[in-house]
């Protein structure tokens, strides 16, 4: 009897081994990615810009005249500063160039000046046998003066002319003046400071 039961169990075990395994891998196709996902290149940081490959520049939008200075004067000052950085105006048909925009505006700054006349100390009277006389130490109150001044603020943007991609931007300011000559000098100084970090290292 026990032998019969053992034979039956052995037969059932062999039959189970020959049945289909539900865990076998199947070659199902991978579903496509959703259309809302960004391209693979967008998940990686952009490659650094090789500014040495740019030798020419052109205006992206010519700067407009402001109450500080005329448009032609601004264009001339920016062009001269770019020339000192080795950039030349792009000839017709240039494929790779920098498209530059320049904006100029006047802003008011509040400055504070501290008038410090220094402290004072002294010794008055006379003593005898080691006894001190009359002394005086102290300092006058600190005087603070405020005044307003006009500054010229320049904002430069460098784009790739072909793709329109923003490559670099910077801004700087310089103290203006009352005369036209002083305003031009302030603008030259502001443009020079704005281009100090170009090309970025």
For 187, phi and psi rounded to 5 degrees?
Answer: -65, -45
β-bridge pairing 88-89 and 56-61: parallel
Percent of the chain with pLDDT over 90: 32
Dump pLDDT digits (tens) for 132-154: 544 445 555 577 788 788 888 99
DSSP class of residue 93 equals: T
**pLDDT reported for residue 96:** 92
**pLDDT reported for residue 69:** 82
CATH code, 49-124+139-201: 3.30.160
DSSP class of residue 197 equals: T
Q: Is the pLDDT of residue 73 over 50?
A: yes
Q: Is the pLDDT of residue 68 over 50?
A: yes
Is 151 within 8 Å of 117 (Cβ atoms)?
Answer: no
Of 174, 193, 198, 196, whose CA–CA distance to 185 is shortest?
174
Q: Which residues contact 88 (CB under 8 A, 6 or more apart)?
A: 55, 56, 57
By the 10 Å C-beta count (0-12 exposed, 13-18 middle, 19+ buried), 99 is classed as: buried
**pLDDT reported for residue 101:** 95
Dump pLDDT digits (tens) for 165-190: 999 999 999 887 778 888 889 889 99
Q: Is the pLDDT of residue 129 over 50?
A: no
Domain boundaries, the chain: 49-124+139-201
- If one compares 73 and 7, the residue with the highest pLDDT of the two is 73
**pLDDT reported for residue 169:** 95
Q: Is the pLDDT of residue 43 over 60?
A: no
């Amino acid at each position: 009897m026990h032998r019969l039961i053992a034979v039956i169990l052995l037969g059932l075990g062999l039959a189970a081994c020959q049945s289909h395994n539900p865990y076998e891998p199947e070659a199902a196709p991978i579903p496509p990615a959703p259309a809302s996902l960004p391209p693979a290149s967008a998940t990686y940081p952009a490659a650094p810009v090789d500014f040495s490959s740019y030798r020419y520049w052109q205006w992206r939008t010519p700067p407009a005249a402001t109450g500080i200075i005329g448009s032609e004067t601004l264009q001339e000052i920016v062009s001269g500063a770019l020339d000192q950085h080795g950039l030349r105006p792009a000839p017709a048909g240039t494929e790779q160039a920098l498209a530059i925009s320049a904006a100029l505006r006047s802003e008011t700054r509040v400055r504070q000046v501290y008038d410090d006349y220094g402290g004072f100390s002294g010794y008055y009277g006379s003593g005898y046998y080691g006894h001190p006389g009359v002394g005086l130490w102290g300092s006058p109150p600190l005087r603070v003066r405020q005044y307003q001044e006009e500054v010229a603020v320049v904002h430069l943007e460098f784009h790739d002319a072909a793709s329109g991609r923003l490559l670099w931007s910077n801004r700087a300011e310089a103290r203006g003046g009352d005369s036209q000559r002083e305003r031009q000098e302030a603008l030259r100084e502001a443009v020079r400071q704005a281009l100090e970090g170009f090309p970025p290292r």
